[in-house]
Amino acid sequence: MPSSHHPIPPGSTIGILGGGQLGRMLAMAAAEMGYHVHIYCPEQDAPASEVAKFTTVAAYENIGALQEFAQSVDVVTYEFENIPADPVAELARHAKVRPSPEILNMSQHRILEKQAINHLGIATAPFMPVSSPEELVLAKEAIGLPAVLKTCRMGYDGKGQWKITGEKELNDLKAQNIFSESSHILEGFVPFRMEISVIIARDVMGNIDCYCPVQNTHKNHILHETIAPAPISVSLTEKAEHIARTIARGLDLVGLMAIEMFVTDNDDILVNEVAPRPHNSGHWTIDACTTSQFEQTIRAICGLPLGSTERLCDAKMLNLIGDDVKDWQHYTAMPDAKLHLYGKKEARPGRKMGHVTYLRPKA
């Protein structure tokens, strides 16, 4: 393998853990830059496999398959963070993994994540670990209501989350047998006026660049719409970008990371969570920026200089969820709309099937 500070040249092979739409768009960006891609995922006919040169279909816990995969690639990244941490640590013994297994492990565990962010002097919602009904009561008394109980691991798009607004919901959760299955965290509910995110990249030499903060709107706990740039003041924009840079530097990131934040009524910014990979709220960069978040990921993990994050125009990204994809002809008829479909064979409720980005002149 090339040394850690020498560029990985075109013609090399990039390994991607996961075969979903993020892996697909990463593979497409890598191919444009002359790289081969090897997908590793447990699913047959994954969306990313359609556009990759190689695919290994095996369980993430299959150490033998992981070792063979590692020997076939020059660097490894991942397209989602809910991958078992131990196999990734094993993979790192045989290949470069960027972002690091330590960052992946931190991002998988909500308590470790918030502790790491707080350690950098950055605010989050108040939180307490919960491992029993009794601890849930103690945490509720310390944090107050409303609050949100979440699993520490594996929850996303609203899964593994329970909002608690009163005693009835608290007692219902106490009666359920959820605490024997996994660890949990109780987070104080943040009254916010806007959800924003910042996509940031850091290369092997420590150079950092980020995209403008964007506003995110969710429906049924799934991202519905992203507006770039976020309609916030210059001072809030600078504050959000400073937070993102502090996290990327403090975690020694090599690669790309999305940082989700709340803007409160008092114009405070609290970090909600981080995702050390391309993010749904960054899809607009494909059509509206000099360098997309996917190309930027490839540049960062391969030791290339970061590309410009300049926004060429304003944009609105709309997710196509489930049967929304059936209206594809509507979007292709619009001259300022860029349609991206993910090649998934079956539309199901809550399933991300594609997205469309509307381009507008800069305001």
SS3 270: strand
Q: What is the pLDDT of residues 116-142, one digit of tens each?
A: 999 999 999 999 999 988 899 999 999
Residues 6 or more apart whose CB falls under 8 angstroms from that of 181 comprise none
Cβ atoms of 215 and 230 closer than 8 Å: yes
Cβ atoms of 277 and 297 closer than 8 Å: yes
Cβ atoms within 10 Å, residue 294: 25
Whole-angstrom Cα distance, residue 103 to residue 134?
Answer: 31
Whole-angstrom Cα distance, residue 227 to residue 216?
Answer: 7
Q: What is the pLDDT of residues 39-88, one digit of tens each?
A: 999 999 999 999 999 999 999 999 999 999 999 999 999 999 889 888 89
pLDDT at 303: 98
Whole-angstrom Cα distance, residue 123 to residue 240?
Answer: 12
Q: Write the DSSP assignment of 164-232 as a string of letters.
A: E-SHHHHHHHHHSS-TTTS-EEEEE---EEEEEEEEEEE-TT--EEEPPPEEEEEETTEEEEEEES-S-
pLDDT at 3: 47
Q: Which DSSP symbol is given to 313?
A: S
pLDDT at 161: 86
At which residue do the structure tokens 């996303």 appear? 156
Cβ atoms of 247 and 122 closer than 8 Å: yes
pTM value is 0.95
Return the H-helix or E-strand segment holding 95: none
Which phi and psi (to 5°) does residue 114 adopt?
-70, -35
Residues of the chain with pLDDT under 50: 1-3
Whole-angstrom Cα distance, residue 285 to residue 293?
Answer: 6
Q: Helix 167-175 to helix 133-143 angle, to the nearest 10 degrees?
A: 160
Q: Write the DSSP assignment of 227-265 as a string of letters.
A: EES-S--HHHHHHHHHHHHHHHHHTT--EEEEEEEEEET
CA 96 to chain centroid: 20
Return the H-helix or E-strand segment holding 127: strand 127-130
At which residue do the structure tokens 């959820």 appear? 178
Whole-angstrom Cα distance, residue 143 to residue 314?
Answer: 39
pLDDT at 157: 57
Whole-angstrom Cα distance, residue 135 to residue 89?
Answer: 32
Whole-angstrom Cα distance, residue 7 to residue 9?
Answer: 6
Among candidates 246, 136, 145, 155, which has minimal Cα distance to 202?
A: 246
